[in-house]
Amino acid sequence: MRSVAILMLVFVTRAYASCDSDPDGTNEQVFFQSCKSGETIVVNSVALFHDDGSNNYPIDVTHPVTLRLNMTNTGKTPLDKITISASVARYTDIFGICSWIGIPTFDLLDNLDGCNYGSTNICPMPPGVTVVNDRIDPASVQAIINILSTSEPYRITLSFKSGGAEVTCVTAEGKISK
């Protein structure tokens, strides 16, 4: 199974050459959107910046980057036991069609703690607006960073769950530099 997966990866890497489009304006900037409507948490805004405040694009993955999420819990009750699962996809050409194809993340991004952000604990998350700063050190997921290329856009999908049920889902698309 493993060798089949690696072969697929090589195949996908080669096939990319003919896919030269600019999905959702990712040649210029990060693109965000909610993946589902009607969920309990609405994401109002998303921002990415480095420790020195800069937000140069493509995103420099050789330095820690902070993801600021401004969210509204539209429900009537606080949300506890929040977990985040992330998946990563690449924009690539498969048999002449450009689309988002998942890449392996080695279980590194499953069921992450969604309550604690540095010294801030947001759980239980009350109804109304909550702003969190999640500082991500790419070195902690180096195995994933190593397989990313600077020539194609990536999409990360974040699924937030509370007590096992999805409360919001957001996607971010962008290019990286390293």
Can you give the binding site for ligand NAG, defined by CB under 6 A?
A: 44-45, 70, 129, 131
Reference 44, options 79, 70, 75, 74; nearest CA is 70
Q: Which positions ≥6 away from 91 have C-beta within 8 Å?
A: 19, 21, 23, 26, 98, 99, 100, 152, 153, 154, 155, 173
Minimal distance, residue 68 CB to ligand NAG, in Å: 8
User: Which of 30, 144 has the CB closer to ligand NAG?
Assistant: 30
Minimal distance, residue 39 CB to ligand NAG, in Å: 16
User: Which of 98, 131 has the CB closer to ligand NAG?
Assistant: 131
User: Which of 67, 98 has the CB closer to ligand NAG?
Assistant: 67
Cα separations (Å) of 76 from 79, 128, 171, 177?
A: 9, 9, 25, 42
Burial (Cβ within 10 Å: 0-12, 13-18, ≥19) of residue 116: middle
Q: Specify the amino acid at residue 40.
A: T
Minimal distance, residue 43 CB to ligand NAG, in Å: 9
User: Which of 42, 84 has the CB closer to ligand NAG?
Assistant: 42
Rounded CA-CA distance 31/22 in Å is: 11
Minimal distance, residue 73 CB to ligand NAG, in Å: 12
User: Which of 21, 45 has the CB closer to ligand NAG?
Assistant: 45
Minimal distance, residue 41 CB to ligand NAG, in Å: 12
Q: Which residues pair with 132 in a beta bridge?
A: 69
